[in-house]
C-alpha cells in the first residue's frame, strides 16, 4: 500500500503506509531534508489536510489516515513562537512544492484560519474548566474537512473517494448493492 508524495521542484517519491504515522513522518522529513522535529503534515491535491501532526497515538498505522495510491503534498506546519503566549497557535501550512496550485494555497489558508478560530473558541469556552483535548481539535478539523469538501463541490461521503460512475456512494455489501440495483431498475420501468 503506497502513496505518492509531491515535494520540491516537481519531485515525487513513493511511501509505504503500512507503518506507524511516526515512522512515516520521520521518513518523509529525512527524504526532503528537514530536521527530525520539524512539524509537517500531508494534504490531498485539493488541499484537505490529513492532520497527522495532531494524531493522538503516533504509533497508529498510517494506513488508517491515508488512502493507498493517492497523491499528497508535504506541508510544513507553522505554529507560534515557542515560549510565547501564542505558542500553540496555527500560523500557516506551507506546501513544500515549488509552484503549488492557487486552489491548494487557498484551501490551506482557509483550513489554518478555521483551526485557529476553533482553537481560540475552545480556549475561551474552557476558561479554567478542563484542558483542550486532541479529540476536540480533531472534531473541529472533521468539520473543516467537510467544509473544504463542500467548497470543492463534494459532500462528506465523496471526500473519501467512494463514489461510483454516477456520483452515488458505493455500496459495501452484496445485499445492499443488489437492493440498490433492483430499485434503480424499478425506476426505469
- 47 found inside a domain: yes
SS3 state of residue 56 = coil
73 CB-near residues (< 8 Å, 6+ apart): 5, 6, 7, 42, 43, 45, 95, 96, 97, 100, 104
The whole-number pLDDT of residue 132 equals: 54
Residue 168 pLDDT > 90, yes or no?
A: no
pLDDT digits (tens, 9 = 90+) for 101-112: 889 999 999 999
Q: Are strands 90-95 and 40-44 parallel, antiparallel or unpaired?
A: unpaired
The whole-number pLDDT of residue 119 equals: 87
Q: Are 73 and 42 in contact (CB under 8 A)?
A: yes
Residue 115 pLDDT > 70, yes or no?
A: yes
How many structural domains does the chain have? 1
Residue 139 pLDDT > 90, yes or no?
A: no
- 14 found inside a domain: yes
- 173 found inside a domain: no
- 108 found inside a domain: yes
In terms of residue numbers, what domain contains 157?
A: 2-161
Q: Measuring CA to CA, which residue among 110, 58, 118 is closest to residue 88? A: 118
SS3 state of residue 181 = helix
User: How many Cα atoms are found within 13 Å in the side-chain-facing hemisphere of 60?
Assistant: 12
pLDDT level of residue 152 (50, 70, 90 thresholds): low
pLDDT digits (tens, 9 = 90+) for 73-83: 999 999 888 88
Amino acid at each position: 500500500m503506497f502513496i505518492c508524495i509531491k515535494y520540491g521542484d516537481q519531485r515525487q517519491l513513493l511511501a509505504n503506509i503500512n507503518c506507524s504515522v511516526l515512522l512515516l513522518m520521520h521518513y518523509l522529513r529525512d527524504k526532503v531534508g528537514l530536521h527530525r522535529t520539524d512539524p509537517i503534515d500531508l494534504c490531498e491535491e485539493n488541499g484537505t489536510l490529513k492532520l497527522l501532526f495532531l494524531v493522538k497515538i503516533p504509533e497508529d498505522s498510517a494506513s488508517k489516515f491515508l488512502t493507498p495510491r493517492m497523491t499528497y503534498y508535504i506541508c510544513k506546519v507553522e505554529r507560534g513562537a515557542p515560549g510565547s503566549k501564542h505558542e500553540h497557535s496555527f500560523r500557516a501550512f506551507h506546501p513544500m512544492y515549488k509552484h503549488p496550485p492557487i486552489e491548494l494555497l487557498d484551501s490551506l489558508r482557509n483550513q489554518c484560519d478555521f483551526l485557529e478560530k476553533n482553537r481560540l473558541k475552545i480556549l475561551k469556552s474552557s476558561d479554567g474548566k478542563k484542558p483542550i483535548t486532541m479529540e476536540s481539535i480533531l472534531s473541529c478539523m472533521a468539520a473543516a474537512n467537510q467544509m473544504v469538501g463542500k467548497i470543492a463541490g463534494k459532500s462528506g461521503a465523496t471526500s473519501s473517494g467512494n463514489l461510483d460512475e454516477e456520483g452515488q456512494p458505493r455500496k459495501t455489501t452484496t445485499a445492499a448493492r443488489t437492493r440498490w440495483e433492483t430499485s434503480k431498475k424499478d425506476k426505469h420501468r
